[in-house]
Amino acid sequence: MSTTAAELAEQFGLRTASGPLAGDSALPVHAALAGLFRGGALRRGTAVSVDGRARLSLAYALAAEPSKRGYWCAVVGVPELGLSAAADLGIDPNRLIALPDPGEQWLRAVSILVETVDVLILAAPAVPPPGGMNRLHAKLRERQAVLICLGRPLPGTGAALTTRGPHWHGLDAGAGRLRSRTIRVAATGKLARPGTAVVSLPGEDGTLGRALPAVS
């Protein structure tokens, strides 16, 4: 497989026959979100940010596909982690390491974790110093892990996802219950494919899905 072909494929977001052979250079993404990433997958060694309403669900959903396939995930700095929701989206609790409160040493903990974990969800307690961030990116590349940052993109983020217009279905004034949410996810950044995906996150069974055409 020539590098040029891979580069071209990535630039135009094409799936090539050699894509599957490239194997481990990317982690899978749910079909409803795949269109937002160049190559249709999470490129290993890079960082993605998720911001806006439902960012936590979106982060779980991104980590879910790798987790379903047996990769390890870690969640750092999220004491409110809702495991039932994460499990509904597909995260395997048996392969989830949670550091709810890493404290001052969070950057060090993250760089230890990326040595073995494939996907890491991070709510950074503070803006890291530039040197620390560069070292983290270098480590991500070396260890081929994917970092998912909650909130504003950290420097060096390859794809930034933001959500718009959440719309919940099923709840009225004094009746019904929350059943599903439709939300628009937009992507920017050099590893993103510009565009918007309309997804149900979560759908009625707590999973991620492609949203039906909006009925408003």
CB of 148 to other proteins, least distance (A): 14
Q: Among candidates 85, 134, 71, 69, which has minimal Cα distance to 107?
A: 134
- How far does CA 153 lie from the centroid of its chain? 12
Longest dimension (CA), the chain: 61
Among 21, 84, 190, 216, binds other proteins (CB under 8 A): 84
4 or 94: CB nearest other proteins: 94
Number of residues that bind other proteins (CB under 8 A): 60
> Which two structure tokens, joined as six digits, stand for 33?
């979100």
Among 36, 42, 117, 154, binds other proteins (CB under 8 A): 117
Among 28, 102, 132, 209, binds other proteins (CB under 8 A): 102
Cα 125 to Cα 142: distance, rounded to the nearest angstrom: 24
Among 8, 15, 31, 79, binds other proteins (CB under 8 A): 79
Report which secondary-structure segment, H or E, holds 148.
strand 146-150
The answer to whether 37 and 17 have CB atoms below 8 angstroms apart is: no
Binding site for other proteins (CB under 8 A): 53-57, 60, 70, 72, 77-88, 93-94, 96-103, 105, 108-109, 112-113, 115-117, 123, 125, 165-168, 171-181, 202-206
